[in-house]
Amino acid sequence: MPTLQGMAAPSPAPHSRPRQPGTLVCGVCGTESRQQSFRPAAPEQAPDLDLRPGEPVRGTMARWLQQCPHCGYAAPDIAQAHPAAAQAVGAANFRALLNDAAHPPLARRFLAWALVLEETGALHAAAEATLQAAWVADDSGRADLARAWRLEAVALWRSGPPLDAEQTVRVVDALRRAGAWDDAATTAEAMLRGDPPEAVGQVLMLELRLIERHDDGRHTVATALPPPSRRPHVTHGRTAPAAGGGLMAWVRKLFRRG
């Protein structure tokens, strides 16, 4: 997964023995643990309308984030930590999240990363991580949590800097998947009045048809857009999502084609 732009790893805690291959020192608490790095292959299937990647990347979410077994800090690379990460990890809501057995463990990992991102002010990246928790809820059959976390993701997107076209499309899809029909339709219609790029308009028109039918199910980009349907995954490259790298950079080019 992309790292938070501007992260600087603090000086690691001293160790009496050299680290073993595959071990990392947590950038927040200094605890050493074994962690896997993740570099996915390109998806072979089209992404969903909210840009969840297709298979085979779709099924690898358990490997997208690392998590410190001591303090619970979660990130694409726990050896790196924004200076505000320690404050986020020490907060009561972070500790409560880690202990909330009502939520799927993998979802808690994405939500923990979202809390860190929110504390650093990276609200759009926090929205992305929260949406990813909703994907975990989808896979776990927890429609109630998926709806709630999609609405949280929308709130984070709207609380950050002005949204670009791609982010607005994702907001529309999150609202539709959460059953917020009026908000989804109003947001899509407002964007269509702004004469968006053709591909954006095609996706929005599909969203409006689905909203009219009260269809809150999963649909793919391939349903609205012509081939190619292969999409690179957001974990490709090491650029922060807020900086427009990886998947979002590719989709930006797609949406601007005429």
**pLDDT, tens digit, for every residue of 40-70?**
777 788 899 999 999 989 999 999 999 999 9
Task: Taking the CA atoms of 175, 180, 185 and 190 in sequence, report the sign of the dihedral they define.
Answer: negative
pLDDT at position 20? 65
Angstrom CA distances, 168 to 28, 96, 146, 157, 200, stand at 33, 31, 19, 9, 10
Torsion of CA 2, 36, 129, 101, to 10 degrees: -170
Q: The whole model's pTM is what?
A: 0.81
Segment (H or E) for 20:
none
Task: Taking the CA atoms of 81, 83, 86 and 87 in sequence, report the sign of the dihedral they define.
Answer: negative
DSSP summary character for residue 50: T
The encoded tokens of residue 133 equal 């928790």
Give the residue among 103, 105, 127 at the shortest CA–CA distance from 115: 127
pLDDT at position 251? 47
Instruction: Pick the range with the lowest mean pLDDT from 10-24, 51-65, 172-186.
Output: 10-24
Across 139-166, average pLDDT: 96
Across 198-221, average pLDDT: 95
